Amino acid sequence: MAEYTLQMNNIVKEYYGNRVLKGVSLKVKPGEIHALLGENGAGKSTLMNILFGMPVIHSTGGFEGEVLINDKPVLVKSPKEAMEQGIGMVHQEFMLVPGFTLTENIKLNREITKPNLVSTVFRNKNLETLDKAQMDKDARTALDKLGMNIDEWVKVQGLPVGHMQFIEIAREIDKLGIKLLVFDEPTAVLTESEAGNLIEAMQKLAATGISILFITHRLDEVMQAAQNITILRDGELVATRPVEETNVLELAELMVGRKVEVTQKEESNEDSILNKTVLSIKNLHVAMPGEEVKGIDLEIHQGEILGIGGLAGQGKIGIANGICGMYPSSGDVKLNGSPMKLNDTRYALQNGMSFVSEDRRGVGLLLDSSIEDNIVVTTMQIKGGFLKKFGPFTQADFPHIREHALKMIEDLDIRCTGPTQPTRRLSGGNQQKVCVARALTLEPDVLFVSEPTRGIDIGAKKLVLDLLVKLNKELGMTVIITSSELAELRAVCDRIAIVTEGKIEGILKPDAHDRDFGLMMAGEYHKVMKKSGEAIS
């Protein structure tokens, strides 16, 4: 038997000159459950894409380093080849046919057949009859391995979510010669008891000699299930630890870490923060698909920079979107002490709020319109600015628009050929500045900025963040930054609220311990505090 089922040595991957994996190594023994841990963007998905030979890897110039399966070097060029090598994947989203039975789903496209008259005459394997009995038997075996006592002839339709996950796994282990199973955040959609069952099933599988690679960000599950843990951060291998030698606190710390500081605020502007609440949010629910907010309480003080952080899909993005009326929301929000109308973008904009969307190209810009049109259009609609009035009729005031656009281009240092350039042709950072310019033109008291640095290069990142700090300092504007990049929040914010599973897990100072951030993002801060009882400073 081979020593290692899977070895990945010194994997380096670049996307258009941007290094996303910087020499990552990974070793998994037969029958081992190995956890892969990391924040969003740490490189977990890219590593798995390489393992499965996804087209996105090979169409962008391949990768460096070597992959060994059963101690033999292999070059996997497509997911099909990965399957032939005995690597299987259990997806986060279920890929099942609802109208089919368990057996049919498990055996889909790998049906067992026996010859019949027609197939013999036409010598065509596709015309053979299904061997139902044998298929049911195989399905039963696979289900039993997982300890599932549900009947194999039941249709998938209407089964609880937890069961569907198991059927996916059953399908993978029914494949002959399966050596390694990758679980991509399998517990994300499961309840706690379902997740417990899943982990038990994983342990049963591992006992039969199948290796398991377990991708997750739930730390307690890692401690419970895995034997070894590999932690990635920013495409780098931070550490590989046997589970006995580590604990939840250390894992949390390793996962977050101190990253390169983008901007450093010179001094805390605590003095300038009046202890006055601008926005008081109580029990806010926002039905934003994929970023649902499930009851948030938050007080936003005048003149502060508040960061909202957390992992993707936990609901941090939904907060700003909900308050600005982009998605259906409910709750009790007070603006300067008076109740605020929700689900009404116009109302929010008219009352001194402004919003820079996380979806720059989808929501933030009119891509085919000029920079100047983009900058003024919202103010024109909301406040009637930049217009000449002729009785009931209006005409855009082009000289005034041009003047304002030129000023914004200069103030924000937007690199362009001129105010009439279509925004589609600008780089990401400059597009972001146009979005900010549009929001500023409204002259807001409260500015919501979501993912301000997503998809823009380091230099532009710094400019955008500096700009936000400057606005806060010079104009006393209250700024709420939502970002997946904790490092940048810690660099510019006065307070950082961490959102987990649609709720505020806690609010931290930017200089709080890495470990606390890590625990909060994993949603285990309170659990750990309660359990250990020790004081976490």
Partner 1 sequence: MNEAIRDFTKKVGIPRLIISLFFIFLCFSSISLGLPFASLSSDTLRRFGMNGILVLAMIPSIQSGLGPNFGLPLGIICGILGSVLAIELGLVGAAGFWGAIIIAMPFAIGIGIAYGIMLNKIKGSEMLVATYTGFSIVSFMSIVWILIPLKHPEMVWPIGRGLRVTIALDSTFGNILNDFLRIDIGKFSIPTGLLLFFFAMCALIWIFNRSRMGIAMKASGDNPKFAIASGIDVDFYRIIGSVMSTTLASVGIIVYAQSYGFVQLYQAPLMMAFPAVAAVLIGGASARKAKISHVIIGTFLFQGLLTVALPVANEAIKVGNLSEVLRMIVQNGIILYALTKVGGES
Helices (H), 357-421: 371-383, 398-411
Angle between helices 398-411 and 428-441 (to 10 degrees): 120
Which positions from 421 through 480 interact with partner 1, judged by CB under 8 A?
A: 424
Question: Quick one: CA dihedral 488, 492, 284, 363, positive or negative?
Answer: negative
* Bridge-based pairing state of the strands 87-90 and 180-184: parallel
DSSP output for 209-260: T-EEEEEES-HHHHHHH-SEEEEEETTEEEEEEEGGG--HHHHHHHHH----
CB of 64 to partner 1, least distance (A): 36
Q: Is 365 in the site for partner 1 (CB under 8 A)?
A: yes
Nearer to partner 1, 237 or 387 (CB): 387
Q: Stretches 29-37, 55-63, 350-358, 501-509: which one binds partner 1 (CB under 8 A)? A: 350-358
Nearer to partner 1, 98 or 328 (CB): 328
CB of 393 to partner 1, least distance (A): 6
Size of site (CB under 8 A) for partner 1? 31
CA-wise closest residue to 67 among 84, 48, 43: 48
CB of 365 to partner 1, least distance (A): 7
Q: Exposed, middle or buried: residue 11 (CB in 10 Å: 0-12, 13-18, 19+)?
A: buried
Nearer to partner 1, 192 or 368 (CB): 368
- Binds partner 1 (CB under 8 A): choice among 366, 406, 475, 512: 366
Nearer to partner 1, 481 or 493 (CB): 481
User: How long a stretch of residues is the chain?
Assistant: 537
Contact 326, 337 (CB under 8 A): no
Which positions from 271 through 330 interact with partner 1, judged by CB under 8 A?
A: 324, 326
Nearer to partner 1, 283 or 381 (CB): 381
Q: Stretches 83-91, 175-183, 359-367, 521-529: which one binds partner 1 (CB under 8 A)? A: 359-367
Show Cβ contacts of residue 101 under 8 Å, excluding neighbours closer than 6 positions.
152, 153, 154, 155, 156
Nearer to partner 1, 375 or 412 (CB): 375
Structure tokens at 198: 């899943």
Question: Quick one: CA dihedral 410, 419, 345, 484, positive or negative?
Answer: negative
Which positions from 392 through 421 interact with partner 1, judged by CB under 8 A?
A: 393-396
Task: Give the per-residue contact string, 367-396, with partner 1 (x = CB under 8 A; - = no).
Answer: xxx---x---xx-xxx-x--x-----xxxx
- Binds partner 1 (CB under 8 A): choice among 363, 406, 512, 529: 363
Nearer to partner 1, 375 or 414 (CB): 375
CB of 420 to partner 1, least distance (A): 15
- Binds partner 1 (CB under 8 A): choice among 38, 53, 315, 364: 364
CB of 469 to partner 1, least distance (A): 24
What's the maximum distance between 2 C-alpha atoms anywhere in the chain?
Answer: 89
Tell me the CA end-to-end span of the chain in Å, nearest whole number: 48
Alpha-carbon dihedral of residues 432, 435, 436, 440, nearest 10 degrees? 170
Quick one: how far is CA 382 from the chain centroid?
33
Residue ranges binding partner 1 (CB under 8 A): 324, 326, 345-346, 348-350, 355, 357, 359, 362-369, 373, 377-378, 380-382, 384, 387, 393-396, 424
